[in-house]
Amino acid sequence: MLTRVFSAALRGVDAMEVTVEVNAGPGDPQLVVVGLPDASVRESRERVTTAIANSGLRWPRTRTTVNLAPADLKKEGPSFDLPIAVGMVAAADGADIPRLDRCLIAGELGLNGEVRPIKGALSIAIEARHRKKRAIVVPLANAAEAAVVAGIDVFGVRSLREAYDFLTRAQELTPTAADFGTAPPAPAEELDFAEVRGQEQVKRAIEVAVAGNHALILIGPPGSGKSMLAKRIPSIMPPLTLEEAIETTKIHSVAGLGLGAGVVATRPFRAPHHTISDVGLVGGSTNPSPGEVSLAHHGVLFLDELPEFKRSTLEVLRQPLEDRKILISRAAGTVTFPANAMLVAALNPCKCGYFGDPKRECRCSPREVENYRNRISGPLLDRIDIHVEAPAVEYRDLASTERAESSAAIRARVVAARAIQTARFASSRRGRTNAEMSPAQLKAHCRLDAAGQDLLRLAMTELQLSARAYDRILKVARTLADLAAAETIAPAHVAEAIQYRTLDRNLWR
């Protein structure tokens, strides 16, 4: 008897429907799995047969062939256990199961028949809706995540027996309702900018960077608070929209992070160690998976001690900084991962950290200083919109009892500026922030008056800035105008934007 069960395979952050065909025919009792399965799928033979036996069900005692179609799509992971088991039991019973055609099924099986969590449940639910399926059957731990997708019923199951009884109408299950509060709650003591003493200029630069989603680099001596400031950036970012939450959850789910935690409700903050590999940062490997840049999608990617990262690792950031996505090409095909993260980098001006410090002597030789700086390429620095110095904090600031401005107050201004940008780019498919403006949008929304043009022309000539720096200055100036709720870019906005491109020149000369 031939039975068909519908499932899905992950490709990047998306899923593609897979038809699991189970045929029980004459021949010696054995189970054969074909259709380009990887090792974990081939190993499902032992898991599936044992799980069926321990669930009180039976499978065909003849030659059973399982075909995963389409045959040219590689099938990876244990999520095919449940659909294969359901197909084998249905083939053994010889019964017609109407719900099989209307459901998409995915889940890993334990030897006792337990259904375990899988990666990419949200992507699978989206594919099921696209294929006009009425329902999806997934592990109970993944049900809250998949239920975010509207227009499709999500049934979470605990065991193979429960799944099969539901499909045969021997048992009814209640669809899982969408719950956007299933993400882990924020810590009780959230990091707040009110705890930061001094560094007002740096706080201003951070506010501008977050308001326009601009890349930011902090340069200063050890102990000046660069890492402390960076860790508080999520506290002033706007809340995730539903669309952003779904995109972020898809990536984390495919990567196997937070399985069973539901929807990602807070903006991610990723701070990889400087020993990370190229693949770990941007994604890849034989079976392409998201890297840290993609895991920080709609959040913050913080690279502390930037020169300590391998230069080759840093150079792979060029594409995501420009395109807000990562394209990974392998022999089996091409996969695209979203990478719209706000890059925040921190570094010392030299190896000892005190080059240019007015109070402490730098111990580095000129050659050591030069070698340290050369670890970061000019083209990469040129792609970072805002460069700001974080000087050592003065004693009077540290000893001050006056409470600094809170994250809530800063966030209110950021949200207002983002709202202006959302309205401005409502009809655009490219992005919703100033940092993502296309050349055409730059020309339309960043017009300067005569004074602003003269100021920018002088900066370009005297500072020998690149064409890319010209665009970056205009984008930052537009954000400064948005923070001031100004329709046009004033010369003062241009001057401040230019300043954010020149601070590093004073430190690195």
Whichever domain contains 408, its CATH number is 3.40.50.300
What is the pLDDT at residue 347?
92
CA distance 126 to 120: 10
Identify whether 173 is part of a domain.
Answer: no
Range of the domain at 81: 2-167
CA 234, 235, 238, 242 dihedral sign is: positive
What is residue 506's predicted lDDT score, i.e. its pLDDT?
A: 44
Instruction: Decide if 451 contacts 381 (C-beta within 8 A).
Output: no
> Which regions of the chain are under pLDDT 50?
182-189, 504-509
pLDDT at 507: 47
Identify the pLDDT of residue 286: 66
Q: Is residue 408 part of a domain?
A: yes
Q: Looking at the domain assignment, is residue 447 inside a domain?
A: no
Please enumerate in sequence order all residues whose Cβ is within 8 A of that of 130, keeping only pairs 6 or more positions apart, or say none: none
**Domain assignment of residue 440, yes or no:** no
Residues 204 and 346 reside in one and the same domain: yes
Domains contained in the chain, number: 2
> Residue 387, SS3?
strand
Q: Do 248 and 387 belong together in one domain?
A: yes
Could you tell me if 241 and 156 lie in one domain? no
Q: Of 149, 167, 185, which residue constitutes the final position of a domain?
A: 167
Can you give the pLDDT at residue 184? 45
Q: Which three-class secondary structure state does DSSP give residue 382? A: helix
pLDDT of residue 187: 45
pLDDT of residue 408: 93
Task: Say how far apart CA 37 and CA 26 lie, in whole Å.
Answer: 24
Q: Is residue 130 located within the same domain as residue 259?
A: no
At residue 483, the pLDDT reads: 96
198's tokens: 């001094």
Q: Are residues 274 and 374 in the same domain?
A: yes
